[in-house]
Structure 1
Amino acid sequence: MNATFTMLEMRRITRDWAGMFFTAVLPAFFYLIFGATVSAKDASIGNGNVAMYVMISMAAYGAVTATTSIGGNAAVERQQGWGRQLGLTPLADSSYIAMKALIAMTVAAVPVVLTFTLGVLTGARGSAQAWALSAVLVLVGSSVFALYGLLIGTAFRSEAAVGAAAGTLVIFAFLGNLFIPLSGALLSFAKLTPLYGYAALARYPLTEGFLPDGSRDPLWLPIVNVLAWLAIFGALAVVLVRRGRERQ
């Protein structure tokens, strides 16, 4: 992996102030509005409080926004000829992938660090284990959505499409129980959507599976959800990449 190229790419991405705002600042702002300032923020949930529940949810939203955008833009770059340009350099495909993965995880860490820091300052409460495990699960789990961005970028070959894919995460977030607590039939449907398992798994060290409506998810449910969507996104991405090569 080329360190110079990685730094140049990182600078290019971080210079996109609008993109960084929606990735890092907006989730932190949502936490302040929905978690840090609500009257129920100190109510108990699992081994912590509501403020921490919302904090983890908003950090997860920011992290997947980052990985979706970077994964999608990487696909668009390759489709639009950047891959052929890189083929003229000593940079191997494996190094290119490793570089993009490192950048995606680094950028995804920004909203996690910012939101968790605000949580510390505004009364989010949970066990030390919950803080550590939730941060790791938020960051690692967000990598699944790099595949989502990759398949959208490969399918439409447009930065606008990648932006739209990141926008659809708002819908997934509502259905995934990130923004508002769901119940009844809508909650049952939500458990099949892409963000539900990821967010529920990230919050599991805090909630131990308990939901705001009093019900409880067994640990296997979010794990199966994450693995299922990982397989779906991965399979679709492979099919689209192969079709793209056949057209060329």
Structure 2
Amino acid sequence: MNTTYLGLELRRFARDRANLFFVAVLPTFLFVVFGSTQDHASTSVGNGNVALYMLVSMAAYGAVTATVGVGGSAAVERMQGWGRQLALTPLRDGSFVAVKAALAVLVALLPVTLIALVGWIGGAEGPVVAWGLSMLAVAAGSTVFALFGLCAALAFRTEAAVSAASGMVVILAFLGNLFVPLSGVLLDIARFTPLYGYVSLARYPVTEGRLISNDGRDLGTEALWVPLLNLGVWALVLGVVATLLVRRGRGRQ
């Protein structure tokens, strides 16, 4: 992997203050408002508390927003001719992909680290193992959604498509049981949405599969295979769609 190119990409990302706000600051703010400052923040959930539950949720939201942006921007760059410029350098396609993948992981770690620090100070409680596994799942699982940004950019071939994809993440977060605990029919629908499996898997070390409603009712326990299957299927779907869109783009050239 070309570390020089990765460094340039990181510096370019750091210069985009608006992007930094939506990736790191906004999820942290949402955690403070809806998590650590609430009266029920110390209520037990699984082997943690509500504050830790919300911490994982907001970290997941920030990480997905980051990776969607990285995936989408990579596709736009290639379509706007950056790929032809890179072809004049010794950088190979594999190195380009490796740099973008590393960038997605590093950018995803930004909201995860910031929210974890604020949560640790603000009363999020749980076993160290649960903290570690949840944060690892947040960072690793979010890379799947770089494919979501990639698909949006390849389908509509504009920078606006990347912004639209990031906006859609908010809607998918509500539908995916991320912001507000769902129940009944809405929960049944949520199980088929892209973010459900990812968020549920990230929460699993904390909740141990326990589902709660918005009013605190216990909805039973969900097996681990449910979020794993959801995330795996959506990773496959997004990967296939991205491949087909790349082939379509080559056919137009």
What TM-score comes out, normalization by structure 2 length? 0.97
The residue that corresponds to 2:97 in the other structure is: 97
Question: Is 1:80 the equivalent of 2:60?
Answer: no
The residue that corresponds to 1:3 in the other structure is: 3
In the alignment of these two chains, the number of paired residues is: 248
The residue that corresponds to 1:26 in the other structure is: 26
**1:2 shift after superposition:** 2.0
Letter paired with 1:33: V
Q: In 1, distance between residues paired with 2:132 and 2:166?
A: 27
Letter paired with 2:203: R
The residue that corresponds to 1:39 in the other structure is: 39
For residues 180-222 of structure 1, give each alpha carbon's deviation from its aligned partner in whole angstroms, at most 9, with x where no partner exists: 1111101110111000000000000000000113122110000
Within the candidate set 229, 237, 240, 1:232 is matched to 237
**1:177 shift after superposition:** 1.0
The residue that corresponds to 1:220 in the other structure is: 225
**1:157 shift after superposition:** 1.3
The residue that corresponds to 1:55 in the other structure is: 55
Q: In 2, distance between residues paired with 1:198 and 1:50?
A: 18
For residues 137-161 of structure 1, give each alpha carbon's deviation from its aligned partner in whole angstroms, at most 9, with x where no partner exists: 0000001100111111111111111
Q: In 1, distance between residues paired with 2:32 and 2:224?
A: 29
Letter paired with 1:163: S
Kindly report which structure 2 residues correspond to 1:151-230, keeping only aligned pairs within 5 A, or say none. 151-213=151-213, 214-215=218-219, 216-230=221-235
Q: In 2, distance between residues paired with 1:125 and 1:5?
A: 39
Q: In 1, distance between residues paired with 2:100 and 2:3?
A: 12
The residue that corresponds to 1:124 in the other structure is: 124
Q: In 2, distance between residues paired with 1:3 and 1:217?
A: 42
Q: Quote the sequence identity (%).
A: 57
CA RMSD of aligned residues (A): 0.7
**1:164 shift after superposition:** 0.6
**Structure 1, 228-237 or 206-215: larger mean CA deviation:** 206-215
**1:174 shift after superposition:** 0.5
Q: In 2, distance between residues paired with 1:85 and 1:217?
A: 49
Q: In 1, distance between residues paired with 2:86 and 2:104?
A: 19
Q: In 1, distance between residues paired with 2:229 and 2:18?
A: 35
Consecutive unaligned residues of structure 2, counting only runs of 5 or more, are: none
**1:234 shift after superposition:** 0.3
Within the candidate set 225, 244, 247, 1:242 is matched to 247
Letter paired with 1:165: A
What secondary structure does 1:172 align onto? helix
For residues 15-59 of structure 1, give each alpha carbon's deviation from its aligned partner in whole angstroms, at most 9, with x where no partner exists: 000011000000000000000111100100000100000000000
Which stretches of structure 1, 4 residues or longer, exceed 6 Å deviation after superposition?
A: none
What TM-score comes out, normalization by structure 1 length? 0.99
Q: In 1, distance between residues paired with 2:211 and 2:25?
A: 27
Q: In 1, distance between residues paired with 2:66 and 2:132?
A: 21
